[in-house]
Structure 1
Amino acid sequence: MLSADVRLEGDGVVLRPWAERDVPQLIAIFNDAEMAYRLPVPAPFDLSAAEAYLVTARRAQQTGHRLCLAVTGGDDLARGEVMLNVAAGTIGYAIGPAYRGQGLAGRALRLMTGYAHTVVGLSTVYLEIEPDNVGSVGVARSGGFRPTGGEPVFVEDKGRRYALHRWAHADPAPPAAG
């Protein structure tokens, strides 16, 4: 089970659990055409979608399946999200349109990757990225992820079928063999 009070800090970012006070920011972050295009979130992403998102994120964390944390710059204002799917060993990230270009996604990805390796104990973590998502590819590279070269995973969402290519990050300090 994942701790309900996970808070990660470093490199000028703080990753913390979503809270009720974040509902307006959830809407500002996810109610965007590109977010709706790239992510499996409702469009429009309104008040009811934000409230449902909070419930789903909390339930997933309580069951130990997924950890969804708000990305802040240390001032507590949520600017995006980083998510760890424990069972799949995947990380996802999204930064609101108004906050892009500040390196938040890369810094949040590095923090979550370290957490996945050292606390959760995942020897390898993955990203799944559309090849034309240039920003996300840049974030992956900045986080030390490399393409696996495997076959893409095909997904269908909101009537759109697309390919996600896997990127991997291996734990640089795997546990010593007994």
Structure 2
Amino acid sequence: MGRSTPIEPLSQPLADGVVALRLRRASDLHPIQAAGRDPDTVRWLDDPPMDDAARRTSLSRVEEAWRTGRAAPLVIADALTDEPVGIINLQFRDDDVATVAYSVFPARRGHGIAPRAVRLLASWALHELGLRQVLLEADEDNAASIRVAEKCGFRRTGSRTEEQGDGSRTLLVFARATARTSM
């Protein structure tokens, strides 16, 4: 999966005065690694926590994701201090559709950061990259992510079941589309 063409990494952060979405830096890796051990982060995200080996190759994997058109991984930063407060990733299914995944670091949850970041990323994807649709998938038990989807203008379009080693889980699928697209 991915785009047929590479994505140009952001030359300037996407910002709204409170949060900024920017490229990852080596200085972001320790906070990302630490947040990845948080029980809520582990519960809701598919990716395993970053270990030392993954940390060493993280920036080259990020560069490869952009270069191959597979994904656009970014850091959510405080717009005033540039301190990393979360991560957000646009994962391309094809040239027209991508899925947004995000995580706000534990100390910054509950402050409206996730909706701001998702709005910025979805707007960029739909208007600057020309995507037809951005999806957000949330575990049916993840009330916070469901609220983020709804606050950001995503509309519930269905659900899907995902098999896991210890059973299955239901993911609710939300979509936000360009005005020219009917769903």
- State the TM-score bracket (shorter-chain normalisation): 0.7 to 0.9
Distance of aligned partners of 1:160 and 1:94 in 2 relative to their CA distance in 1, 3 Å threshold: farther
Where does structure 1 lack aligned partners over 5 or more consecutive residues? none
Q: Name the structure 1 match of 2:7.
A: 2
Structure 2 gap ranges (5+): 1-5
Q: CA RMSD in A?
A: 1.9
Task: Tell me the distance in 2 between the aligned counterparts of 1:157 and 1:60.
Answer: 25
Output the CA distance in 1 between the equivalents of 2:60 and 2:166.
25
- Normalising by structure 2, we get a TM-score of 0.84
1:1-178 superposed matches below 5 A: 1-6=6-11, 7-43=13-49, 45-74=50-79, 75-87=81-93, 88-148=97-157, 150=158, 152-157=159-164, 159-172=166-179, 174=180
- Specify whether residues 144 and 38 from structure 1 end up closer, same or farther in structure 2 by C-alpha distance, changes over 3 A only: same
Which amino acid letter does the alignment assign opposite residue 78 of structure 1? P
TM-score (norm 1): 0.86
| Deviations 1:6-38, CA, capped at 9 Å, x for gaps | 521114111001111111111122111121121
Question: How many residue pairs end up in the alignment?
Answer: 171
Identical counterparts, % of pairs: 30
Amino acid aligned to 1:62? R
What is the alpha-carbon distance in structure 1 between the residues aligned to residue 17 and residue 46 of structure 2? Answer: 29
- Is 97-106 or 28-37 further displaced after alignment? 28-37
